[in-house]
Amino acid sequence: MRMTLPATLTRLAGAAVLLALSACGGGSSSGNSTAPTPTAKLSEPAQLGALIFSDQSLSASGRQSCASCHNPANAHGPTSDLAAELGGPDGTTPGFRAAPSLRYLDRTPVFAFAKDGTPTGGFDRDGRAQSLAEQGQRPFLAPHEMANASVADVIARLKQTPYAARFRQQFGDTILDQPEQAFSRMTYALQQFQLEDPSFHPYDSKYDLFLAGKVQLADAELRGLALFNNPTKGNCAACHTSARGADGAAPLFTDFTFDNLGVPRNPRLAATADPSYFDLGLCGPDRTDLADRADLCGAFKVPTLRNVATRKVFFHNGAFSNLTDVVRFYVTRDTNPALWYPVNADGSVEKFNDLPPQYRANVNVTEVPYNRQPGMAPALSPAEIDDLVQFLGTLTDGYKH
Give the class (CATH, top level) of 44-200: mainly alpha
Please give the share of the chain, as a percent, with pLDDT higher than 70: 90
**Is the Cβ–Cβ distance between 70 and 52 less than 8 Å?**
no
Is 362 a residue whose pLDDT tops 60? yes
Q: What is the largest CA-CA distance in the chain?
A: 70
- What does the alpha-carbon distance between residue 328 and residue 76 come to, in Å, rounded to a whole number? 26
Measured N-to-C along each axis, helices 164-171 and 179-196 cross at an angle, to the nearest 10 degrees, of: 90
Cα-based distances in Å from 277 to 43, 96, 280, 285, 298: 44, 10, 10, 9, 13
Quick one: pLDDT at residue 324? 98
Q: Could you read off the pLDDT of 229-239 as tens digits, one per residue?
A: 999 999 999 99
- What does the alpha-carbon distance between residue 39 and residue 42 come to, in Å, rounded to a whole number? 6
pLDDT band at 132 (very low <50, low <70, confident <90, very high): confident
Query: Does 9 or 397 have the greater pLDDT score?
Result: 397
Q: Could you read off the pLDDT of 29-55 as tens digits, one per residue?
A: 333 333 444 445 999 999 999 999 999
- What does the alpha-carbon distance between residue 186 and residue 334 come to, in Å, rounded to a whole number? 46
Q: Could you read off the pLDDT of 63-112 as tens digits, one per residue?
A: 999 999 999 999 999 999 999 999 999 999 999 999 999 999 999 999 99
- What does the alpha-carbon distance between residue 126 and residue 195 come to, in Å, rounded to a whole number? 22
Amino acid at position 137, single letter: Q
Cα-based distances in Å from 63 to 23, 27, 87, 88, 162: 16, 11, 9, 10, 17
